[in-house]
Amino acid sequence: MTSTQANGPFEVKLSPEPLSGVAEGTGLGRMSLNKKFDGDLVAASQGEMLSFRSSEPGSAGYVAMETVTGTLHGRHGSFVLQHSSTMTRGVPEQSISVVPDSGTGDLAGLTGRMIIIIAEGQHSYKFDYTLP
C-alpha cells in the first residue's frame, strides 16, 4: 500500500457541554465539535472532546473522538479519528489517528494520521493515509 497525503482547510465549531456528575469539580472541560473539511477531504465531522488547562500558561491537554463522513480524494465513506494531544508551555505534541477498522464504504480499510495546523487563526490539516 502506498501512502497518500490529503491537505486542506477546515472550520471547527466548539460548544461547551456539561460534565458528568462524576467529573464535576475536576477542572476538566467538555466540548462538542462540529467540523467542515475542504480540499482533498470534503467532509463533515461531529465529536466530543475532554480537555484540561493547567495553571501554567501554555500547558494543556485534550482527548477527542470524531466521526468524519464525506469524500477523500474521490472515495466516499466515513471513519473515526482519535485525538490525544498536549501542549507543554506552548510546545504542541499531536497524536490524531484513524481508529482501526472504522472506515466504511469506499474508505473501508483506511489507516492514517492527521496533523492540525493553526496559522493566523485559520485551521488546516495534513492527512497521511493508506487505503487497500
Q: List pLDDT tens digits, range 109-127.
A: 999 999 999 999 899 999 9
φ and ψ at residue 105, rounded to 5 degrees? 60, -135
Read off the pTM: 0.94
* Measured CA distances, 21 to 15, 17, 57 (Å): 19, 12, 28
Q: Classify domain 4-20+34-130 at the CATH topology level.
A: AOC barrel-like (2.40.350)
Query: What gap in Å lies between CA 84 and CA 60, rounded to an integer?
Result: 11
E strands, 1-132, are 4-17, 28-37, 41-53, 60-72, 75-88, 91-93, 96-98, 111-119, 122-130
What is the chain's percent helix, strand, coil content, to nearest 5? 0, 65, 30
Query: What gap in Å lies between CA 43 and CA 80, rounded to an integer?
Result: 12
Query: What gap in Å lies between CA 106 and CA 71, rounded to an integer?
Result: 9
**Side-chain half-sphere CA neighbours of 103 within 13 A:** 19
Q: pLDDT of 27-53, one tens digit each?
A: 999 999 999 999 999 999 999 999 999
**pLDDT reading at 11 higher than 70:** yes
Residue among 60, 58, 62 at smallest CA distance from 48: 62
